[in-house]
């Protein structure tokens, strides 16, 4: 096969026709001496490359479009929406209680934070408060979930930067948390355990022993992270000074969570705007002035220590009592007795309902299928998720379903910081910066 000469370029054999794309001009090199091609290249052109949307260093299905001049990033853009599920809209077609099973699937690394914020917002509209035991149990579950989420941040960040031992260690400890959450709630993830008015059911009888055993395991293993990573020169060189974002930039972009605290502002909603009785717990909000990826790593490790401290206090505060409000209209749809197969209702529950009056059976059927009514109004309730401020804006028209559910999701907001952290740096440092943001695309693309 002979190559037809292209008279538009002096090295016609070496080049195919250039073409303009939406991302800039593209040249196809087909052969020739590489040094000659470099010498003859047009020097003011910049390369545009894609990271993702399925690249492991983009935390799932995040797409980064990078414009490069050599190894230096001159422009960075994030493209989201590849994991869009329409969860907010779906909630408008389900009862208030059924919505829990949707929102728990947004940020799949912090499902309990979504459940808690959603249910707190519903309870605010209803004008009710969960019983004391349910509130303490919620705090304990939230902190266990925070530990699990931070361990994934450490593990995936380590994997993306070449530290496979960090990945295996992080996921090993996360398995300990997930085993415990499965024992306490019935599921490893997407628990739907926190319900409007309280909890789906009480904690198992041996919860104290199981949680205590977990605390001992974490106390023995957490120091290994400092030995493995904190003082490790390669780890420090890859993170120190990378992804710098000062406090004024955080405030301008609405950034919250560990990124904001790494810039020196001790903003944690558990302290600044307490909920679920967090004002009763003794814990610190770690901060740093370094404002880089290494500071965020250190903060997440310290936050795990603080969460363990809170869980210990929860064990002391958990006293016998109900875990659901007394109002049966709110309690029934959330508090259905589960059968021995884990699927349908228990026989005792069926006998009780069927053995009462026909009106009782109809009332029960309407409650379970239609749900309870929530007074008209709108609320915004934020909680401190592992990634920052997670807020639920609920609008009710007085019916049995939400009129509008909108979520202020920290992964979506925090991703705005990616260009500010990355532009002017090296391509390899983009990976470290994104890892330090710790975005979860299930929440971003809800």
- Alpha-carbon gap, residue 184 to 315, rounded angstroms: 13
Largest interatomic CA distance in the chain: 94
CB atoms under 10 Å from CB of 12, counted, come to 14
Q: Quote the pLDDT of residue 37.
A: 42
- Alpha-carbon gap, residue 418 to 259, rounded angstroms: 11
* Cα radius of gyration (the chain): 26
Q: Quote the pLDDT of residue 163.
A: 85
- Alpha-carbon gap, residue 176 to 179, rounded angstroms: 5
Q: Quote the pLDDT of residue 61.
A: 86
Nearest alpha carbon to residue 70 among 358, 427, 315, 370: 427
Three-class DSSP category at 440: coil
How far is CA 252 from its chain centroid? 22
Nearest alpha carbon to residue 278 among 322, 256, 310: 310
Number of residues that make up the chain: 446
What pTM did the predictor assign? 0.85
- Alpha-carbon gap, residue 351 to 373, rounded angstroms: 27
- Alpha-carbon gap, residue 168 to 125, rounded angstroms: 44
Q: Quote the pLDDT of residue 164.
A: 87
Instruction: Report the alpha-carbon angle 433-434-439, nearest 5.
Output: 140
Q: What is the DSSP string of 124-193?
A: HHHT----HHHHHHHHHHHHHHHHHHHHHHHHHHHHHTT-HHHHHHHHHHHHHHHHHHHHHHS-SS----
List, in sequence order, the alpha helices (H) in 288-385.
293-317, 328-334, 347-354, 358-370
Q: Quote the pLDDT of residue 11.
A: 46
Look up residue 441 and give its two tokens.
Answer: 């695309």
Q: Quote the pLDDT of residue 34.
A: 42
Q: What is the DSSP string of 41-97?
A: S-TT--EEEEE-SS-GGGTTT-EEEEEEETTEEEEEEEE--TT---HHHHHTTS-TT
The domain ranges of the chain are 19-79, 87-326+356-444
Q: Quote the pLDDT of residue 366.
A: 80
pLDDT tens for the 446 residues of the chain, in order:
444 444 444 444 444 567 777 767 766 555 555 455 445 444 457 788 888 787 766 777 888 888 888 888 888 888 888 888 889 999 999 999 889 999 999 988 999 999 999 999 999 999 999 999 999 999 999 999 999 999 999 998 888 888 888 889 999 999 999 999 999 998 889 988 999 999 988 899 899 999 999 999 999 999 888 888 888 889 899 999 898 999 999 999 999 999 999 999 999 999 999 999 999 999 999 999 999 999 999 999 999 999 999 999 999 999 999 898 988 788 876 555 566 665 566 677 777 777 777 777 777 778 778 888 999 999 999 999 999 999 999 999 999 999 999 999 999 999 999 999 998 889 989 999 999 998 998 888 88
CATH 3.90.226.10: does it fit domain 87-326+356-444?
A: no
CB-based contacts of 45: which residues, under 8 Å, 6+ apart?
24, 25, 27
- Alpha-carbon gap, residue 344 to 341, rounded angstroms: 7
């Amino acid at each position: 096969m002979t190559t037809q000469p292209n008279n538009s370029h002096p090295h016609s054999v070496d080049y195919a026709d250039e073409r303009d794309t939406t991302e800039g001009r593209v040249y196809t090199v087909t052969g020739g001496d590489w040094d000659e091609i470099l010498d003859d290249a047009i020097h003011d052109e910049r390369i545009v490359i894609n990271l993702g949307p399925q690249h492991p260093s983009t935390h799932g299905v995040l797409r980064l479009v990078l414009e490069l001049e050599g190894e230096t990033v001159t422009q960075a853009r994030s493209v989201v929406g590849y994991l869009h599920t329409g969860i907010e809209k779906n909630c408008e077609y389900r009862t208030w209680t059924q919505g829990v099973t949707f929102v728990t699937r947004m940020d799949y690394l912090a499902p309990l934070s979504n459940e808690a914020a959603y249910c707190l917002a519903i309870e605010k509209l209803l004008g009710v408060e969960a019983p004391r035991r349910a509130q303490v149990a919620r705090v304990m579950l939230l902190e266990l979930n925070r530990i699990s989420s931070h361990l994934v941040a450490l593990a995936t960040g380590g994997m993306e930067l070449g530290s496979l031992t960090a990945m295996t260690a992080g996921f090993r400890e996360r398995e300990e948390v997930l085993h415990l959450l499965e024992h306490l709630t019935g599921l490893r993830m997407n628990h739907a355990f926190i319900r409007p008015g309280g909890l789906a059911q009480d904690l198992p009888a041996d919860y104290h022993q199981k949680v205590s055993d977990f605390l001992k395991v974490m106390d023995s293993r957490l120091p290994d992270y400092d030995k493995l990573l904190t003082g490790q020169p390669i780890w420090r060189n890859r993170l120190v000074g990378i992804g710098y974002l000062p406090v004024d930039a955080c405030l301008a972009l609405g950034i919250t969570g560990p990124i904001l605290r790494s810039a020196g502002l001790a903003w944690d909603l558990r302290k600044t705007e307490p909920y679920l009785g967090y004002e009763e717990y003794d814990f610190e909000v770690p901060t740093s002035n370094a404002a880089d990826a290494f500071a965020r790593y250190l903060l997440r490790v310290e936050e795990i220590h603080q969460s363990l401290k809170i869980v210990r206090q929860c064990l002391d505060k958990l006293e016998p009592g109900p875990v659901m409000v007394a109002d049966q209209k709110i309690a029934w749809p959330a508090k259905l007795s589960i059968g021995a197969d884990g699927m349908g209702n228990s026989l005792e529950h069926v006998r009780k309902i069927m053995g009462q009056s026909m009106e009782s059976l109809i009332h029960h059927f309407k409650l379970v299928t239609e749900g309870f009514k929530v007074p008209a109004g709108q609320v915004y309730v934020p909680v401190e998720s592992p990634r920052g401020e997670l807020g639920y804006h609920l609008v009710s028209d007085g019916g049995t379903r939400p009129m509008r559910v909108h979520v202020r999701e920290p992964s979506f907001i925090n991703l705005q910081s990616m260009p500010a952290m990355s532009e002017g740096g090296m391509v390899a440092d983009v990976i470290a910066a994104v890892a330090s943001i710790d975005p979860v695309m299930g929440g971003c693309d809800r």
